Amino acid sequence: MRELTVSLGERSYPVLIGAGLVDGCPALVDLAAGRQVAVVTNDVVAPLYGERFARWLRPASSEFIEIVLPDGERHKDWPSLQRVFDQLLARRFDRRCLVVALGGGVIGDLAGFAAAVYQRGVEFVQVPTTLLSQVDSSIGGKTAINHPAGKNMIGAFHQPRLVVADVATLATLPARELSAGLAEMIKHGAISDPAYLAQLERDCDRLLSCDAAALTAAIERSCEIKAAVVAADERESGVRATLNFGHTFGHAIESGLGFGTWLHGEAVAAGMVMAADLSRRLGMLDSGAVERLRGAIAAARLPVAGPAWDSGRYLELMAVDKKAEQGIPKFVLLSALGHALVRSVPEPELRATLEQCVR
Amino acid sequence: MRELTVSLGERSYPVLIGAGLVDGCPALVDLAAGRQVAVVTNDVVAPLYGERFARWLRPASSEFIEIVLPDGERHKDWPSLQRVFDQLLARRFDRRCLVVALGGGVIGDLAGFAAAVYQRGVEFVQVPTTLLSQVDSSIGGKTAINHPAGKNMIGAFHQPRLVVADVATLATLPARELSAGLAEMIKHGAISDPAYLAQLERDCDRLLSCDAAALTAAIERSCEIKAAVVAADERESGVRATLNFGHTFGHAIESGLGFGTWLHGEAVAAGMVMAADLSRRLGMLDSGAVERLRGAIAAARLPVAGPAWDSGRYLELMAVDKKAEQGIPKFVLLSALGHALVRSVPEPELRATLEQCVR
């Protein structure tokens, strides 16, 4: 098992990475001891890991409930959140209870947000079971639900007390979701570590075939990068915004297609190619780097272009992005593979990218 | 105009108290300058102060909207919150926008919670227009909405950037709401300042007839007490809990009758008499002090007893109180007028109070 720390002063917490952690994790038993524990999960994950997980966690708790939500990004909404509150209140869970998110990014974001606002905030633990959530969304305390007008529009910064990433759970992951996770890993390489990007290019086939050693090494490096960025800028007032590389375009794609049509990682993948293309048009990045990134994304079996909408549609969708300031979106761009920065862009170059980088 | 500060390090903020502030407040103009500003108010306050307020605040902002919600505690719920989000998103308000709560405690709690979670948190200002919100709920950053199973069950700690209390707005306040505000002021005296309690007893008639000088002096002292408690314990892990004197009983009354049947201050008033009676039964407080507190509450034209439910009903309602730990409620009790503490209580004495202190 590997362990690293997200350093945030008194809100610091460990990230544990290893095989078999859903069958037992002493750190989680310690945290749950004598407390009311609510495991929030979905109807795909529950049959796979729910009982294996409850077997050792239930005896540690004073009271144990499992809250099973419907699977899918479209359920990352108020009715699902309400179901969590209804069940916590029906069982009279108090403000010392512990919420455990067992599932992918949707469950982590939603259960984390439920914990952030239930009785003005209770503690929670992330147990991510998808590659994307293990390397990205489970770390850093961003929690949210979607609004019909935009993704993650309602949320909070609320750090977990512990993150438990079991790489063995990835064996049951559909190939498409494995690729979607790789998108965020490629992002970590693209914005801050060219050597890691090269590692992902080299290990791509092993990662796609779920090789445990390759996955563990890559997940650990991605978690290190994510943890360092979060430690430097918890509330996204500076460097943390670079983690949104590909996300301004990606959110527009997800929102325009309807949440859940493309996986988040798929939309970010296309968005990264678009952001790299835009960087090139602005004279910041050479064509070779753009092509190398596009190649890495294609090798991971991810889309390299967005839906064929006209640029006006994209601009409209992007203007409600959280990073937009009074309607003018800012973008995370690359000045080299491994170096990202945030800036406003002129509309003509943006429109050119939107016209070129679509199917 | 009086000014005091809630001292919370980088989250410190001023509280301004004076007559005529809804007709102009330079500190608020400065804060709103060049920003998207959303005034959240209700359909009772909007006709009284909406346009007077907008006249000088609108020109300072880059974009200005007024969001008018239905009045009343029963609307402190998700549908109202959703209306705020819908309108902010329809106008593409970004994360640098400013939310201004113009109204009583319901508006302040709801608009504050909307600001706490809109795009993971935007800044907000409290402009309380009721006595209760001026002396209590506008200060300290507690925000929330209600759940059918309990009051303020969904919320966040989110401090305002500024509190602007215009005592002139109290002239339009119904007598019943003025009394409800007095309940929280009596509470401040009862838990921490016997001299202030004596001042309220002495000035009771002047306060009920809206004497500006008496009101300003009392509001300032209440705000000082509240600010000092919040500064000492922002997240309610210790002394701040004493501000809940009367609230465990009070919340049970509000919840059992349906939110809004009794005003919050009315329920707290009866709850304070019950908590004082319980303190006496536990040998902590003498009968004279209980009677003095009951007299002050009666003089403020507030209820001194709860609805005539049996004790079982009360216990059931109190077990979902946020201060309950795994079903056993804790209570704020008095060891003297001016001295409060939090403790668990034995059930027989609690039942005796519940059987005695009802109508």
- A8-32 pLDDT, tens per residue? 999 999 999 999 999 999 999 999 9
β-strands A123-128, A162-166: how paired? parallel
Chain A residues touching residue B92 (CB < 8 angstroms): 319-320, 324, 326-327
The answer on pLDDT for A322 being more than 80 is no
Q: Residue A320 — very low, low, confident or very high, per pLDDT cuts 50/70/90?
A: low
In A, minimum Cα distance to B158 occurs at A120
Interface contacts A/B by beta carbons within 8 Å:
97
Amino acid A204: pLDDT: 97
Q: Residue A325 — very low, low, confident or very high, per pLDDT cuts 50/70/90?
A: low
- Top pLDDT among A105 and A327 is at A105
In A, minimum Cα distance to B83 occurs at A147
Contact check, Cβ <8 Å, A156/B86:
no
- 3-state SS, residue B204: helix
Q: Residue A359 — very low, low, confident or very high, per pLDDT cuts 50/70/90?
A: confident
Closest approach of chain B CAs to the CA of A295, in angstroms? Answer: 34
In A, minimum Cα distance to B149 occurs at A89
β-strands A339-344, B2-6: how paired? unpaired
Which of A337, A14, A15, A4 has the alpha carbon at shortest distance from A188?
A: A337
Please give the positions of B annotated as active site.
120, 142, 184, 226, 236, 240, 244, 247, 251, 264
Amino acid B313: pLDDT: 95
User: What percentage of residues in chain A have a pLDDT greater than 90?
Assistant: 90
Chain B residues touching residue A252 (CB < 8 angstroms): none
In A, minimum Cα distance to B62 occurs at A326
DSSP for B54-119? HHHHGGGSSEEEEEEEPPSGGG-SHHHHHHHHHHHHHTT--TT-EEEEEESHHHHHHHHHHHHHBT
- Residues whose CB falls within 8 Å of the CB of residue B79, separated by 6 or more in sequence, listed in order: none
In A, minimum Cα distance to B328 occurs at A94
Contact check, Cβ <8 Å, A324/B94:
yes
pLDDT tens by residue, A213-259: 999 999 999 999 999 999 999 998 889 999 999 999 999 999 899 87
Of B62, B142, B326, the CB nearest to A62: B326
Of A89, A121, A154, the CB nearest to B320: A89
**Burial environment of residue B51 by CB neighbours within 10 A (0 to 12, 13 to 18, 19 or more):** exposed
Amino acid A255: pLDDT: 86
Amino acid B321: pLDDT: 64
- Residues whose CB falls within 8 Å of the CB of residue A260, separated by 6 or more in sequence, listed in order: A72, A73, A74, A254
Helical residues (DSSP H) of chain A, grouped into ranges: 26-32, 45, 51-57, 78-90, 105-117, 131-132, 175-192, 194-208, 212-232, 247-257, 264-281, 287-299, 311-318, 347-356
- Residues whose CB falls within 8 Å of the CB of residue A196, separated by 6 or more in sequence, listed in order: A185, A188, A189, A218, A221, A222, A225
CA distance A147 to A159: 22
Q: How would you list the strands of the sheet with B13-18, edge to edge?
A: B2-6, B13-18, B162-166, B123-128, B98-103, B36-42, B63-69
pLDDT tens by residue, A111-127: 999 999 999 999 999 99
Chain A residues touching residue B36 (CB < 8 angstroms): 326
- Residues whose CB falls within 8 Å of the CB of residue A155, separated by 6 or more in sequence, listed in order: A109, A113, A116, A142, A143, A144, A145, B117, B119, B120
The answer on pLDDT for A328 being more than 70 is no
- Residues whose CB falls within 8 Å of the CB of residue A175, separated by 6 or more in sequence, listed in order: A208, A301
Amino acid A295: pLDDT: 98
Q: Residues in chain A whose beta carbon is closer than 8 A to a beta carbon of chain B? A: 36, 62-63, 78, 82, 85-86, 89-90, 92, 94-96, 113, 116-121, 142, 144, 147, 149-150, 152-157, 319-320, 322, 324-327
Contact check, Cβ <8 Å, B119/A326:
no
Which of B288, B232, B89 has the alpha carbon at shortest distance from A146?
A: B89
Contact check, Cβ <8 Å, A147/B85:
yes
In A, minimum Cα distance to B151 occurs at A119
Closest approach of chain B CAs to the CA of A161, in angstroms? Answer: 17
For chain B of 359 residues, list the mean pLDDT of each consecutive stretch of 10. Answer: 95 96 98 98 97 97 98 93 97 96 97 98 98 96 93 96 96 94 98 97 96 94 96 91 95 88 95 98 97 98 97 88 65 97 93 93
The answer on pLDDT for A130 being more than 90 is yes
Contact check, Cβ <8 Å, B82/A78:
yes
Give phi and psi for B97, each to the nearest 5.
Answer: -70, 170
The answer on pLDDT for A106 being more than 60 is yes
Q: Residue A260 — very low, low, confident or very high, per pLDDT cuts 50/70/90?
A: confident
CA distance A216 to A1: 9
> If you ran DSSP here, which 8-state letter would residue B340 be given?
E
Chain A residues touching residue B152 (CB < 8 angstroms): 120
Contact check, Cβ <8 Å, B96/A156:
no
Question: Which of A71-80, A165-174, B272-281 reaches the highest mean pLDDT?
Answer: B272-281
The total number of residues shown for chain A amounts to 359
Amino acid A285: pLDDT: 97
Amino acid A324: pLDDT: 62
Helix axes A347-356, A311-318, angle to 10 degrees: 120
Task: Indicate whether this model's pTM tops 0.90.
Answer: yes
The answer on pLDDT for A327 being more than 80 is no
CA distance A162 to A164: 7
User: Looking at residues A176-204, what average pLDDT do you find?
Assistant: 97
Amino acid B328: pLDDT: 59
Amino acid A245: pLDDT: 97
- 3-state SS, residue B234: coil
Contact check, Cβ <8 Å, B324/A94:
yes
Domains of chain B, CATH where assigned: 2-172 (3.40.50.1970), 175-356 (1.20.1090.10)
CB distance B128 to B163 below 8 Å:
yes
Amino acid B260: pLDDT: 78
Closest approach of chain A CAs to the CA of B196, in angstroms? Answer: 31
In one-letter notation, the amino acid at residue A123 is E
CA distance B92 to B88: 6
The answer on pLDDT for A291 being more than 70 is yes
Average pLDDT of every residue of chain A: 95
- Residues whose CB falls within 8 Å of the CB of residue B87, separated by 6 or more in sequence, listed in order: B38, B65, B67
Closest approach of chain B CAs to the CA of A139, in angstroms? Answer: 16
CA distance A299 to A303: 10
In B, minimum Cα distance to A151 occurs at B119
> If you ran DSSP here, which 8-state letter would residue A306 be given?
B
Q: Residues in chain B whose beta carbon is closer than 8 A to a beta carbon of chain A? A: 36, 62-63, 78, 82, 85-86, 89-90, 92, 94-96, 113, 116-121, 142, 144, 147, 149-150, 152-157, 319-320, 322, 324-327
β-strands B13-18, B63-69: how paired? unpaired
Could you identify the residue written with the tokens 């209700």? B42
- Asked if this assembly's ipTM is beyond 0.85, the reply is yes
The answer on pLDDT for A299 being more than 90 is yes
Q: Tell me how far the alpha carbon of residue B333 is from its chain's centroid.
A: 19
Q: Which two tokens stand for residue B345?
A: 């209580």
Amino acid B219: pLDDT: 97
Contact check, Cβ <8 Å, A85/B117:
no
CA distance B349 to B281: 6
Amino acid B319: pLDDT: 80
Of B85, B320, B324, the CB nearest to A154: B85
Contact check, Cβ <8 Å, B86/A149:
yes
